[in-house]
Amino acid sequence: MREIVIGGAQMGAIQTAESREAVVARMIVLLDQAAKAGCDLVVFPELALTTFFPRWWMEDPAEVASWYEVEMPNAATAPLFNRARQHGTAITFGYAEQTPEGRKFNTSILTDRSGQIVGKYRKVHLPGHSDYDPDRAFQHLEKRYFEPGDLGFPVWRNLDAWMGMCICNDRRWPEVYREMGLQGVELITLGYNTPSVNSQDSAEGLEQRLYHSDLSMTAGAYQNAAWVVGVAKAGVEDGHPLIGGSIIVDPNGYVVARAAGEGDELIVHGCDMDLCTFGKTTIFDFARHRRTEHYSRITAQTGVVLPE
């Protein structure tokens, strides 16, 4: 039994005015709690170091730049990496990355137990829009502030298991799970910042947002016989509500742990990576069952092409 005790470290709201240092202190409290609970790996949310700044229209380059990290670890996050190393706990968290060339990505990193970064992922599916949209109740400007990820969907060997990452909107796209499933992934971790209401349809509220979040992750887990851990940044940030609903999903698609609230909250489950084997060698034995000769549209087309 290859058990990994996984902690989902859901975080409550981060207000615009909150400093990186104050946020890292909250993350360390959750990390200590996770270590006490015996966690081998702790999963933090998307953009875990700051408020969800893509909700704001900004034109001042200095203000925009203030939301990004130009190196990782850095002064503000070193205490988190050091504490993780002291605990012997691997961590993953998301942040806004600015590369030395000035490119900007919605990024997440994965460490081993010694606090070394062993994996980096850059969010591929950027939702929302790039120009100010006056028709929306609030903005969602990830296409303005980030480039689509350029690293694909890598899978790494860590903690004696095959692990991959995605971020937020990625969880809604089946291709994401399958790209990692075809690499034998056994655990997919992801963070999300999901508004509680639809900026384009005020009738779509919390219940449907939570349902679609669960649906996306449970389907991805089941259809690729992998564990999925999805962790929210939740709560009300400067008046804008984000859903909670952090979950740990087993390779049969069952939710085995779920956050109850919308604040800083740890969920924990002992995840046996060998539970992936049955699905991968029977119903989802890709080599025996897939018929790739019929799948060409999935990569040949971006949008819909109606039949003649």
Touching ligand ING, residues 121-160 (CB under 6 A)? 127
CA atoms of 308 and 300, how far apart (whole Å): 17
- Please identify, among the stretches 63-71, 89-97, 190-198, 296-304, the one whose residues bind ligand ING according to the rule CB under 6 A: 190-198
At residue 86, the 3 state secondary structure works out as: helix
Query: Residue 107, interface with ligand ING (CB under 6 A)?
Result: no
Smallest Cα–Cα separation from 14: which of 133, 125, 96, 85? 96
Among 50, 194, 196, 218, binds ligand ING (CB under 6 A): 194
Residue 192 engages ligand ING in binding (rule: CB under 6 A): yes
Measured in whole angstroms, the distance separating CA 216 from the mean position of its chain's CA atoms is 13
Please give the Cα distance from 117 to 120 (Å, whole number): 8
CB of 194 to ligand ING, least distance (A): 4
The structure tokens listed for 126 are 């950027």
Task: Give 107 or 169: the residue with its C-beta nearer to ligand ING.
Answer: 169
State in angstroms the smallest separation of the CB of 239 from ligand ING: 17
Indicate the residue among 73 and 205 with the shorter CB distance to ligand ING. Answer: 205
**Residue 272: helix, strand or coil by DSSP?**
strand
168 binds ligand ING (CB under 6 A): yes
Nearer to ligand ING, 53 or 227 (CB): 53
Task: Pick the stretch among 24-32, 60-68, 165-173, 225-233 that binds ligand ING (CB under 6 A).
Answer: 165-173
Report the nearest approach of ligand ING to the CB of residue 46 (Å): 6
Window of 9-17, 164-172, 272-280, 288-296 that interacts with ligand ING by CB under 6 A: 164-172
Nearer to ligand ING, 244 or 279 (CB): 244
3-class state of residue 12 by DSSP:
coil
Q: 3-class SS at 295? A: coil
The bridge status of strand 227-232 relative to strand 247-249 is antiparallel
CB of 32 or CB of 214, closer to ligand ING: 214
Backbone angles phi, psi at 40, to 5 degrees: -95, -25
Min dist. Cβ of residue 54 to ligand ING (A): 7
CA 260 – CA 276 distance, rounded (Å): 27
* Active site residue ranges: 46, 123, 168
CB atoms within 10 A of CB 198: 14
Binding residue for ligand ING, selected from 89, 193, 196, 246, defined by CB under 6 A:
193
Q: How many residues does the chain have?
A: 308
Compare residues 177 and 192 and give the one whose CB is closer to ligand ING.
192
Report residue 117: phi and psi, to 5°: -75, 120
The backbone torsions φ and ψ at residue 229, rounded to the nearest 5 degrees and listed phi first, read -120, 115
- Region from 55-63, 155-163, 189-197, 276-284 binding ligand ING, contact rule CB under 6 A: 189-197
Contacts of 155 (CB under 8 A, 6+ apart): 162, 163, 164, 180, 183, 184, 185
Contact 213, 245 (CB under 8 A): yes
Q: Which is nearer to ligand ING, 151 or 182 (CB)?
A: 151
| Minimum CB distance to ligand ING, residue 307 (Å) | 27
* Per-residue interface string for the shown chain with ligand ING, residues 220-249, x marking contact by CB under 6 A: ------------------------------
Over the range 204-214, which residues count as b (16 or more CB within 10 Å of their CB) and which as e? eebeebbeebb
- Which residues contact ligand ING (rule: CB under 6 A)? 127, 168-169, 172, 192-194
